[in-house]
Amino acid sequence: MAKSPDKTSPGYTPPSSPEAEQSVLGAILVRPGCLDDLIEQLSPDDFYREAHARIYMAMLGLYNRNEPVDLITVTQRLDEAGWLEGVGGRVFLAALSEQVGFATNVLYYAQVVHDKALLRRLLDAVQQIAGACFAPVEDVRDFLNGVEQQIFEIIQARQQKGGARLLRDLMQPVLEKIEELYTRKIELTGLSTGHADLDRMTGGFQDEDLIILAGRPGQGKTGLGLNICSNMSLQGVPTLFYSLEMSYDQLVRRLLASEGKIDTLRLRDGRLRPDEWSALQSAAGRLMDAPVFIDDAPTITFPEIHSRTRRLVAQAGIRFVVIDYLQRVKSRGRSKAEEVGAVAQGAKTMAKELKIPVLLMSQLNRDCESRDDKRPLLQDLKSSGDVEQEGDLVAFIYRDDYYDEDSERKGIAEIIIRKHRNGPCGTVELGFDAASVTFRDLSRETEPPTHWQEQENE
């Protein structure tokens, strides 16, 4: 292992390449048009030498005002700013255009400058972290989350920024994907929920999508979320379930009851019949090796969720995340509405960053219960503005027998999709057994589910 350099020694210099910095500046003077490519790749902060950073700032100032960028205009700009002598004067500027290797290699030189800047930022972060470790730390968990976020931001900075690309360059991979789906007759483009009708309507849960599942307390949100998690994991998909309301023990019992179709109360009390004991053992055997991760931290913040998920995606290959539920997650905000909005925005950002679907549970306000038809609407979401906006798919769970025990629709749960950015809206019916909190398909037929409603999405 290489020995760390001694920063106190006279010969120590942080990671930098003055030659590459000068080559970039010289290339701009020789071929100003290269700024079109450089402006998104390099910032003045990427230059180690302050003189080089000021010269680049002068060049950017001219470029942004649509003025010529050449030796005369750059010299004049620096002189007006009072920086000319500090950067080396006219002689130094004139020599820059002579020191460049090949102006056509400017992107290579710029990459060297950017990479050295990343190394310096990483070094600064490590030094700050080391210093902070010796200071009083009130909450080690918050401290570690901050450290991880600091390092992650540096890692993110090395990734290329998005930009406009020609349609024909973007079309080929899309056509190849469509051809694969057509050739292999693939019905799902996302992860299967384990429910055929729901899969047909959604195409499966798509990578980068934020799926909102909302309902009144007691309708079965947690049960459905666990059910989808176990269905995916039994197909070999690593899943992660955050529960801010139920403990590990309660969640495991729920999973066993659902998978074994066992009454949760009998399972809780241990009053099992021989057939139920056999079902329990079979369910435990199936779930034992299922890649389901459960986190039951009751006071977790969203930055902690983001941090833990990022780590588990890297370590365990997590492909699907459930957060139960939105209103209990802590975030920064002056009001509850702002806090809920920040969590919804964070969940969408996490889904896009990690390229996985995220299922976010949400409570509903009481407005739906004052209507004759109590099926939820988008406006029934608590602090609905940001939640509705961030969701790629917004669905509600509704059971008639929740309000009327003698309902003719007893044992049926409606999954009502009110918003779907990439597909139809409508209602999927699932069978629901309240005793074991089990959801099942009512039909395995191939035709579209009942209540299919094509709707325009805003």
28, 34, 47, 88, 101 from 54: Cα distances, Å: 14, 18, 9, 11, 21
Please answer whether residues 318 and 249 qualify as being in contact, where contact means their C-beta atoms are separated by less than 8 angstroms: no
Q: Give the whole-angstrom CA distance, residue 346 versus residue 365.
A: 22
Beta-bridge mates of residue 416: 396, 427
- The single residue of 40, 80, 187, 245 carrying the catalytic annotation is 245
Residue ranges, the chain, pLDDT below 50: 1-4, 6-8, 160, 445-458
pLDDT confidence of residue 360:
94
Cα separation values, 236 from 232, 256, 291, 318, Å: 7, 18, 7, 11
Residue 333 pLDDT: 56
Neighbours of 156 (CB within 10 A): 9
Tens of pLDDT, residue by residue over 271-283, are: 888 888 888 888 8
Q: Quick one: pLDDT at residue 429?
A: 92
The pair of three-digit structure tokens given for residue 197, joined into one six-digit string: 């009708």
pLDDT of residue 457: 42
Domain range summary for the chain, segments of one domain joined by +: 18-157, 188-453
pLDDT of residue 359: 96
Architecture of domain 188-453: 3-Layer(aba) Sandwich (3.40)
Can 353 be counted among the known catalytic residues? no
Number of H helices, E strands in the chain: 17, 10
Burial of 115 per CB tally in 10 Å (0-12, 13-18, 19+): middle
Q: How far apart are CA 14 and CA 119, in angstroms?
A: 9
Q: Mind listing the pLDDT tens digit for each residue in 87-140?
A: 999 999 988 877 666 667 888 899 899 999 989 988 888 888 888 888 887 777
The closest alpha carbon to 330, from 223, 220, 242, 252, belongs to 242
| Sole residue written with tokens 């509405």 | 337
Compute the distance between CA of residue 225 and CA of residue 219 in angstroms, rounded to an integer.
Answer: 12
Domain 18-157 CATH superfamily = DNAb Helicase; Chain A (1.10.860.10)
What is the reported pLDDT for 132?
Answer: 82
Rounded to whole angstroms, the Cα distance separating 437 from 262 reads 9
